Amino acid sequence: MSPSSKRPGETPPPPRRRAGAPPTAEPPAADDGPAPAPAAPAPASAEPVYEYGAPPAVPYARIGAWAGVLYALVGFVGSSLLPVGEVDPTNTAGEIAAQLADRRGTISVGILLTLFSLFFLILFVAWLHRWLREAEGEDGWFSTVSLIGGVLQVGMLSLLVALSIAATVLEDYGPDAVIARTLLVLQWQAIAVVFLPTAAFVGGASLVGYTSGQLPRWLCYAGIGIAVGLLVPPLAYLPFLLSSLWTGFLAVFLLQRSRGSV
Protein backbone atom coordinates (compact mmCIF):
# COMPACT_ATOMS: atom_id res chain seq x y z
CA MET A 1 0.00 0.00 0.00
CA SER A 2 1.44 3.35 -0.98
CA PRO A 3 1.74 6.23 1.45
CA SER A 4 -0.83 8.18 -0.55
CA SER A 5 -3.41 5.40 -0.08
CA LYS A 6 -3.08 5.50 3.76
CA ARG A 7 -6.32 6.32 5.43
CA PRO A 8 -6.52 9.34 7.74
CA GLY A 9 -5.88 8.45 11.41
CA GLU A 10 -4.43 5.02 10.55
CA THR A 11 -1.07 4.19 12.19
CA PRO A 12 1.48 3.04 9.62
CA PRO A 13 2.92 -0.43 10.22
CA PRO A 14 6.48 -0.70 11.45
CA PRO A 15 9.09 -1.01 8.71
CA ARG A 16 10.27 -4.50 7.84
CA ARG A 17 13.81 -5.48 8.77
CA ARG A 18 15.85 -7.37 6.26
CA ALA A 19 17.30 -10.67 7.32
CA GLY A 20 20.75 -10.24 8.94
CA ALA A 21 20.30 -6.46 9.39
CA PRO A 22 21.09 -5.03 12.87
CA PRO A 23 18.08 -4.08 14.96
CA THR A 24 17.13 -0.46 14.73
CA ALA A 25 16.81 1.74 17.84
CA GLU A 26 13.34 2.23 19.23
CA PRO A 27 11.86 5.62 18.43
CA PRO A 28 12.01 8.06 21.34
CA ALA A 29 8.93 8.31 23.47
CA ALA A 30 6.69 11.27 23.20
CA ASP A 31 8.05 14.26 25.11
CA ASP A 32 5.64 14.92 27.96
CA GLY A 33 7.79 17.72 29.48
CA PRO A 34 11.05 17.90 31.44
CA ALA A 35 11.80 14.92 33.63
CA PRO A 36 11.47 15.66 37.36
CA ALA A 37 14.79 16.29 39.07
CA PRO A 38 15.83 13.58 41.51
CA ALA A 39 15.13 14.48 45.11
CA ALA A 40 18.20 15.62 47.02
CA PRO A 41 19.18 13.19 49.75
CA ALA A 42 18.24 14.37 53.21
CA PRO A 43 21.28 15.51 55.16
CA ALA A 44 22.32 13.19 57.91
CA SER A 45 21.30 14.65 61.24
CA ALA A 46 24.03 14.96 63.83
CA GLU A 47 21.49 15.09 66.65
CA PRO A 48 20.86 11.81 68.49
CA VAL A 49 17.43 10.27 68.15
CA TYR A 50 15.62 9.81 71.45
CA GLU A 51 12.85 7.34 72.01
CA TYR A 52 10.52 9.84 73.67
CA GLY A 53 11.41 12.91 71.60
CA ALA A 54 14.14 15.55 71.86
CA PRO A 55 15.53 16.14 75.37
CA PRO A 56 15.00 19.52 77.03
CA ALA A 57 17.73 22.14 76.58
CA VAL A 58 18.67 22.01 80.27
CA PRO A 59 17.31 18.91 82.02
CA TYR A 60 15.82 19.52 85.46
CA ALA A 61 16.72 23.20 85.32
CA ARG A 62 14.30 24.15 88.07
CA ILE A 63 15.65 21.52 90.45
CA GLY A 64 19.20 22.78 90.01
CA ALA A 65 18.17 26.41 90.41
CA TRP A 66 16.02 25.67 93.46
CA ALA A 67 19.01 23.89 95.01
CA GLY A 68 20.97 27.15 94.82
CA VAL A 69 18.13 29.08 96.44
CA LEU A 70 17.83 26.54 99.26
CA TYR A 71 21.60 26.60 99.79
CA ALA A 72 21.54 30.36 100.31
CA LEU A 73 18.57 30.27 102.71
CA VAL A 74 19.36 27.14 104.73
CA GLY A 75 23.10 27.89 104.78
CA PHE A 76 22.54 31.40 106.12
CA VAL A 77 20.39 30.13 109.00
CA GLY A 78 22.68 27.21 109.76
CA SER A 79 25.91 29.23 109.75
CA SER A 80 24.38 31.79 112.11
CA LEU A 81 23.91 29.03 114.69
CA LEU A 82 27.51 27.78 114.56
CA PRO A 83 29.96 28.90 117.26
CA VAL A 84 32.16 30.77 114.81
CA GLY A 85 31.53 34.48 115.34
CA GLU A 86 30.18 34.14 118.87
CA VAL A 87 33.60 33.55 120.39
CA ASP A 88 37.11 34.01 119.05
CA PRO A 89 40.53 32.55 119.83
CA THR A 90 41.46 35.57 121.93
CA ASN A 91 39.05 34.42 124.65
CA THR A 92 40.37 32.19 127.39
CA ALA A 93 39.99 28.46 127.07
CA GLY A 94 37.54 28.41 129.97
CA GLU A 95 35.26 31.01 128.35
CA ILE A 96 35.28 29.19 125.05
CA ALA A 97 34.52 25.84 126.68
CA ALA A 98 31.67 27.33 128.72
CA GLN A 99 30.01 28.91 125.67
CA LEU A 100 30.33 25.75 123.60
CA ALA A 101 28.76 23.71 126.39
CA ASP A 102 25.92 26.20 126.94
CA ARG A 103 25.07 26.43 123.23
CA ARG A 104 25.47 22.74 122.48
CA GLY A 105 21.86 22.23 121.36
CA THR A 106 21.80 25.35 119.19
CA ILE A 107 25.11 24.41 117.57
CA SER A 108 23.75 20.92 116.79
CA VAL A 109 20.78 22.44 114.94
CA GLY A 110 23.14 24.72 113.03
CA ILE A 111 25.29 21.73 112.06
CA LEU A 112 22.27 19.84 110.72
CA LEU A 113 21.07 22.80 108.66
CA THR A 114 24.57 23.45 107.33
CA LEU A 115 24.89 19.83 106.22
CA PHE A 116 21.63 20.13 104.27
CA SER A 117 22.84 23.37 102.70
CA LEU A 118 26.04 21.67 101.53
CA PHE A 119 23.96 18.97 99.85
CA PHE A 120 22.01 21.67 98.02
CA LEU A 121 25.29 23.38 97.09
CA ILE A 122 26.57 20.15 95.52
CA LEU A 123 23.45 19.93 93.35
CA PHE A 124 23.68 23.58 92.36
CA VAL A 125 27.39 23.46 91.49
CA ALA A 126 26.90 20.36 89.33
CA TRP A 127 23.94 21.87 87.46
CA LEU A 128 25.51 25.33 87.20
CA HIS A 129 28.60 23.85 85.50
CA ARG A 130 26.36 22.46 82.74
CA TRP A 131 24.75 25.85 82.25
CA LEU A 132 28.07 27.71 82.28
CA ARG A 133 29.58 25.33 79.69
CA GLU A 134 26.66 25.88 77.33
CA ALA A 135 26.87 29.66 77.79
CA GLU A 136 30.65 29.86 77.41
CA GLY A 137 31.23 27.23 74.72
CA GLU A 138 33.58 24.28 74.55
CA ASP A 139 36.70 26.43 74.18
CA GLY A 140 36.16 28.33 77.45
CA TRP A 141 37.75 27.50 80.78
CA PHE A 142 36.14 29.93 83.25
CA SER A 143 33.33 27.42 83.76
CA THR A 144 35.89 24.80 84.80
CA VAL A 145 37.44 27.26 87.27
CA SER A 146 34.00 27.80 88.78
CA LEU A 147 33.40 24.04 89.02
CA ILE A 148 36.72 23.38 90.76
CA GLY A 149 36.16 26.28 93.13
CA GLY A 150 32.66 25.06 94.00
CA VAL A 151 33.85 21.51 94.69
CA LEU A 152 36.68 22.74 96.93
CA GLN A 153 34.29 25.09 98.69
CA VAL A 154 32.02 22.17 99.55
CA GLY A 155 35.03 20.19 100.80
CA MET A 156 36.35 22.96 103.06
CA LEU A 157 32.90 23.76 104.44
CA SER A 158 32.45 20.06 105.18
CA LEU A 159 35.69 20.17 107.18
CA LEU A 160 34.36 23.19 109.06
CA VAL A 161 31.17 21.30 109.91
CA ALA A 162 33.21 18.30 111.06
CA LEU A 163 35.14 20.52 113.47
CA SER A 164 31.87 21.97 114.74
CA ILE A 165 30.57 18.45 115.37
CA ALA A 166 33.73 17.66 117.33
CA ALA A 167 33.13 20.74 119.47
CA THR A 168 29.69 19.43 120.54
CA VAL A 169 30.72 15.89 121.44
CA LEU A 170 31.53 16.70 125.08
CA GLU A 171 28.85 18.05 127.38
CA ASP A 172 31.43 19.42 129.76
CA TYR A 173 35.12 19.96 129.03
CA GLY A 174 36.03 19.98 132.71
CA PRO A 175 39.75 20.57 133.22
CA ASP A 176 40.45 20.03 129.52
CA ALA A 177 39.12 23.40 128.36
CA VAL A 178 42.11 23.85 126.08
CA ILE A 179 40.51 21.30 123.72
CA ALA A 180 37.63 23.70 123.09
CA ARG A 181 40.03 26.49 122.25
CA THR A 182 42.00 24.22 119.90
CA LEU A 183 38.85 23.21 118.01
CA LEU A 184 37.78 26.83 117.71
CA VAL A 185 41.17 27.87 116.32
CA LEU A 186 40.93 25.10 113.72
CA GLN A 187 37.48 26.30 112.67
CA TRP A 188 38.73 29.84 112.22
CA GLN A 189 41.56 28.62 110.03
CA ALA A 190 39.23 26.42 107.98
CA ILE A 191 37.14 29.50 107.17
CA ALA A 192 40.28 31.34 106.06
CA VAL A 193 41.16 28.51 103.68
CA VAL A 194 37.68 28.38 102.13
CA PHE A 195 38.03 31.98 100.91
CA LEU A 196 40.16 31.00 97.89
CA PRO A 197 37.91 28.32 96.38
CA THR A 198 34.89 30.54 96.98
CA ALA A 199 36.62 33.31 95.00
CA ALA A 200 37.20 30.85 92.14
CA PHE A 201 33.58 29.68 92.20
CA VAL A 202 32.01 33.14 92.25
CA GLY A 203 34.61 34.78 90.00
CA GLY A 204 34.53 32.05 87.36
CA ALA A 205 30.74 32.11 87.10
CA SER A 206 30.72 35.92 86.94
CA LEU A 207 33.29 35.98 84.14
CA VAL A 208 31.28 33.48 82.11
CA GLY A 209 28.17 35.59 82.55
CA TYR A 210 30.03 38.76 81.58
CA THR A 211 31.79 37.40 78.48
CA SER A 212 28.73 35.55 77.19
CA GLY A 213 26.18 38.20 78.10
CA GLN A 214 23.93 35.57 79.68
CA LEU A 215 23.84 37.21 83.12
CA PRO A 216 22.88 40.76 84.14
CA ARG A 217 25.81 43.16 84.30
CA TRP A 218 25.15 44.13 87.90
CA LEU A 219 25.28 40.49 88.96
CA CYS A 220 28.57 39.98 87.10
CA TYR A 221 30.15 43.12 88.56
CA ALA A 222 29.03 42.16 92.06
CA GLY A 223 30.45 38.66 91.68
CA ILE A 224 33.79 39.92 90.38
CA GLY A 225 33.99 42.40 93.28
CA ILE A 226 33.25 39.64 95.80
CA ALA A 227 35.89 37.39 94.23
CA VAL A 228 38.53 40.14 94.44
CA GLY A 229 37.57 40.89 98.05
CA LEU A 230 37.96 37.21 98.98
CA LEU A 231 41.58 37.38 97.85
CA VAL A 232 42.35 40.16 100.38
CA PRO A 233 42.70 38.40 103.78
CA PRO A 234 41.88 41.37 106.05
CA LEU A 235 38.63 42.02 104.15
CA ALA A 236 37.70 38.49 103.12
CA TYR A 237 35.19 37.65 105.86
CA LEU A 238 32.54 40.14 104.67
CA PRO A 239 32.83 39.10 100.98
CA PHE A 240 32.51 35.49 102.13
CA LEU A 241 29.18 36.28 103.77
CA LEU A 242 28.09 38.17 100.66
CA SER A 243 29.06 35.23 98.44
CA SER A 244 26.16 33.18 99.80
CA LEU A 245 23.80 36.07 99.08
CA TRP A 246 25.23 36.38 95.56
CA THR A 247 24.74 32.67 94.97
CA GLY A 248 21.12 33.04 96.01
CA PHE A 249 20.55 35.93 93.58
CA LEU A 250 22.19 33.91 90.80
CA ALA A 251 19.96 30.93 91.52
CA VAL A 252 16.82 33.10 91.57
CA PHE A 253 17.75 34.66 88.22
CA LEU A 254 18.36 31.27 86.62
CA LEU A 255 15.15 29.93 88.14
CA GLN A 256 13.16 32.75 86.57
CA ARG A 257 14.96 32.20 83.28
CA SER A 258 14.12 28.49 83.31
CA ARG A 259 10.46 29.46 83.61
CA GLY A 260 10.75 31.72 80.58
CA SER A 261 10.19 34.97 82.51
CA VAL A 262 13.67 36.39 81.78
Higher pLDDT, 52 or 237: 237
Q: How confident is the model at residue 202 (pLDDT cuts 50, 70, 90)?
A: very high
Distance in angstroms (rounded) separating the CA atoms of residues 131 and 67 = 14
Please state the rounded mean pLDDT for residues 113-125: 94
Please state the rounded mean pLDDT for residues 224-239: 90
Of 27-36, 139-148, 184-193, the range with the lowest mean pLDDT is 27-36
The yes-or-no verdict on residue 165 having pLDDT over 70 is yes
Q: How confident is the model at residue 59 (pLDDT cuts 50, 70, 90)?
A: low
Distance in angstroms (rounded) separating the CA atoms of residues 250 and 85 = 26
Give pLDDT, residue 18: 53
Give the highest mean pLDDT range of 23-37, 111-125, 168-182.
111-125
Give which of 11, 128, 114, 28 is closest to 68, Cα–Cα. Answer: 128
- Read off the pTM: 0.72
99-120 in b/e form (b: 16+ CB < 10 A) is: bbbebbeebeebbebbeebbeb
